[in-house]
Structure 1
């Protein structure tokens, strides 16, 4: 459930902070007050598109924060698997927009747009002003039946998606191997050449790094030798004032002085240890420099080996592991080309077997869809009757697409007839704008019983609706709100009267800047707002009394 919305510097909103409640939250206000901007800010926070001028004039950034309270254990488990733990069942989603860029965070942790949309899909379902138009596209219809039948087909769809992926891999592999005899022989010759070139190199994993270090040393051998000769001179006993010379003198001096003071033996032993270390150092240094004598020959060998490895890298992979992997794959391909008939026959059998698996899963998926479509159609028809479609027929038809996909082979479409004696036809050929909004509401009300999503938002679901139909729409929204949190923007008094929590969105201006604000109305203020919607500019006692009666009637209608 959406507990709190905080918006700052967003379009004409300076700063808004609003707490939403359970059941039906109604948002009303004058035309142009910014009602849709409020819903738009929620959309943006959940990963929606950002308009260029979305940051309030004069501000450096825009910010939207949403606080959700999650009760569903399944959703909490999913969030935990995504490494987004919800402390006390709460998560905060924020999006900060700066100069065309944005940063999205969940509980303070930055997330990608993909992760944000995945999580948003678990928490909230937003029905925008134009979403009902999506009912005109058949692709949406199949999505709707799949949502309705999710608990029955979820595992089948996952299995089918996995098997279809394997089917495509096999088909691509088979197509890649389909070549004429001349080309096959050329491929065999080419693969043999590449395999021999790699194998003859006798590559060892990690040797390029060792050779690179060796090359670095040998190519700087002259500099190293000159430097070490200087070090040897400084440490040896052969040059006056060298470290060895001074240590030797120190040994002799202490040896004589011990004749006069036995306590100097400790210092004498220490200098003897130092002399031993210096002798060991000089010996090791001499051996190292003698090994550098053949550096030009070693450099040539190392350079040639590195050139060979780098040549292979340019052809087969960025490192030795990749080169050896390429060789292994080439050997498999060579074996397939050399045993072409057997390989093609085996792959063809595999492909046929995989196609049968996909067919079985698609058949099973299609059967369940058709069965659940009957149930869904009946429920939608019932909901449509509730929404004042008095003589309506509604059904879903299925046709095969003629090919398999990761989603089976079904092409589904909703058909409807809204008038007596009228032939049942596709939605796109029958329904008006107002009818489409009610049909979408009917579908949403049916899906609400199946959905785990706790919060539903309807932005002007009342398009093209009035009179008795408006009352029916308000009752349907109230019914959905019995098991979900619903946020609804409306211009209709019948819907506003049904509010469990009523919010007014207002726009004010000081002549320089314009601000949008939102506040929760008390009972008497809600009645005044309903009266404003009913009566317009002039609110008479009669209008006010009608508003009170509508509010009272709404209370008796609710079933929670």
Structure 2
């Protein structure tokens, strides 16, 4: 079947997970149906898909703990907007438009890659969320949680609501920050005075030290020099003595005698004149060196009081650094903050009044943003409920009324002022009641399918996976679910596990999951069925373990009717 969508899941490769030794499944466009007997391993396939999409790895999931566990998903991408979203996550499809997600489990550790680039499990989940929408068996239970209804609503209308929600969230953060500042700043006169006294004490201690930026580093150098002064002076004095003129054998005296000897004979040969000149330069350099050494020795002369002065200053600075900051700059920055806090406390009434006004303004802006968001939600809720109602009629809910009821929160919350939930009436003359109070298991399955079918057109996710969406339904309702899946699969790739023959008959691609014994071990294997094999599998679903001729004919008729239904 030729691919026509924006992206699809082409292949799933699973190795050494639960009962799966090595399974390779090539999916197609349209409706992909997986069937199998109870216990054959259908849930293992879905579990492996969840692992591949970043889900948690259950303990003892590996078939053979000594071997590598492996799950790989291969996607084809042909959608510029999706490519852009993936690139924002740091993932770029290959030149062939492929995304390969791989999870390897070795020695209890999981390694995740996307197109051979190592990624975190969180990144893997984010990428998978753009490519696949998986409806697990338990997911319909979220319809029984009132708090989830608003999330469904917002997800459906994420594009028209995006800027309004961002505006509200910004206003909410501003209001909360100001409110907390006001709340934390509340104090009586006695407390204000105590805080002011403490601030002034700390500021006075810092200011009294008259700190100069960088002085601690200079003092540290000076202190080290003073501590080591004795050793330094002894060594330098010896150098001065060796190179000076105070001892007969010192370098200065020896060079002086050498100069006298050369001076006496320099007139006898021109070359001696040159040697005499060089030695004169050496004598001059040595003399300059000795002057420098002498100056240095004089600079090292200090009394005990000067040493203690440096030591005390360093202790003062280090004490302040221990209290108020790691560095001198930190201490000075803390002093500046103290001055600002002091100014607030000195002018507390003015500061509190200004802050209260800011809180009032922020609350007004928050309320306005909440009203605008709520109004748009109500408009979008009508559209969602209209679409869901139409989808439910296709799913054999006659004259159903499906709506969303809006209550108002006493105080705006993180999501706005709306406390909303779905209401439904499934029978003529019945009053609408909250969905979480009235729906049965089978009804929840169909309602969730209806919601998913409406969400699919808004999500821009082309691959939808349903794990037994048909729980709790049979008969006419099963046929309507099959028809709805077929309709969805015209615009999306749908992968679904089912136990219902009506749904299996609608398959564009049909796969059988079964247990087999290989080399004395039970394994799960998956095989794609041709048309006749699909008819036999549908017959099994109709009649159980024993496949009768009547069941086969009935299955063949179901398949032909499904083909005709898909044309229309």
| TM-fit CA distance, 1:99 | 5.1
Query: Which blocks of at least 5 consecutive residues in structure 1 are unaligned?
Result: 252-261
Q: Which residue of 2 aligns with 1:87?
A: 94
SS across alignment from 2:547: coil
CA distance in 2, matches of 1:485, 1:7: 20
Could you tell me which residue of structure 2 aligns to residue 39 of structure 1?
A: 46
Give the TM-score normalised by structure 2.
0.84
The answer to whether the aligner puts 1:72 opposite 2:91 as a matched pair is no
Q: TM-score, normalised by structure 1?
A: 0.85
| 1:54-96 deviation per Cα after TM superposition (whole angstroms, max 9, x unaligned) | 2333335433232333333333223323333333343333333
**Counterpart selection for 1:451 from 459, 466, 470:** 459
In 1, distance between residues paired with 2:19 and 2:516? 10
Does the CA-based 8 Å contact 2:404-2:422 persist in structure 1? yes
Kindly report which structure 2 residues correspond to 1:228-377, keeping only aligned pairs within 5 A, or say none: 304-377=312-385
Q: Bigger shift: 199-208 or 476-485? A: 199-208
Q: Which has the larger radius of gyration?
A: 2
In 2, the alpha carbon distance for the partners of 1:516 and 1:280 equals: 95
Question: What RMSD, in angstroms, separates the aligned Cα atoms of the two structures?
Answer: 4.1
Determine the C-alpha separation between the residues in 2 that align with 1:342 and 1:298.
50
- Structure 2: tracts of 5 or more residues without a match: 1-7, 260-269
- Alignment partners' CA distance in 1, 2:111 and 2:475: 45
- Report the alpha carbon displacement of residue 350 of structure 1 after superposing the two structures with TM: 0.8
Residue correspondences, number: 558
Judging changes above 3 Å, is the alpha-carbon distance between structure 1 residues 284 and 466 closer, same or farther for their aligned structure 2 residues?
A: farther
Say yes or no: does 1:5 pair with 2:8. Answer: no
User: Which range is displaced more, 231-240 or 328-337?
Assistant: 231-240
Alpha-carbon shift at residue 191 of structure 1 (Å): 1.4
For the pair 1:117 / 2:107, whether they are aligned, the reply is no
Conserved 8 A contact 1:218-1:295:
no
Change (3 A) 1:385 1:331: same
**How far off its partner does 1:160 sit?**
0.8
Instruction: Name the CA distance, whole Å, in 2 between partners of 1:83 and 1:3.
Output: 22
**2:65 equivalent in structure 1:** 58
Superposed CA deviations along residues 444-500 of structure 1, whole A, max 9, x for unmatched, are 001111112222111110101112211111111121122222211111111122222
More deviation in 160-169 or 225-234? 225-234
Aligned to 1:17: 24
Change (3 A) 1:181 1:43: same
Equivalent position to 2:442, from 431, 434, 437: 434
2:56 aligned to 49, 64, 77, which one? 49
How much does 1:42 deviate?
2.3
Q: What secondary structure, in the 3-state scheme, does the structure 1 residue paired with 2:133 have?
A: strand
Aligned to 1:256: none
Match of 2:5 in 1: none
CA distance in 2, matches of 1:437, 1:8: 31
Counterpart for residue 483 of structure 1: 491
Give the drift of 1:442: 0.5
CA–CA separation in structure 1 for the residues paired with 2:439 and 2:250: 103
1:157 partner SS: helix
Partner of 1:189: 197
Deviation, 1:185, is 1.0
Judged with a 3 Å threshold, the aligned counterparts in structure 2 of structure 1 residues 191 and 115 are, in CA distance, closer, same or farther, namely farther
Distance 1:244 1:15 in 2: 92
Q: Superposed, which structure 2 residues align to 1:128-207 within 5 Å?
A: 128-203=136-211
Residues 498, 554 of structure 1: 8 Å contact kept = yes
The alpha-carbon deviation at position 52 of structure 1 amounts to: 1.9
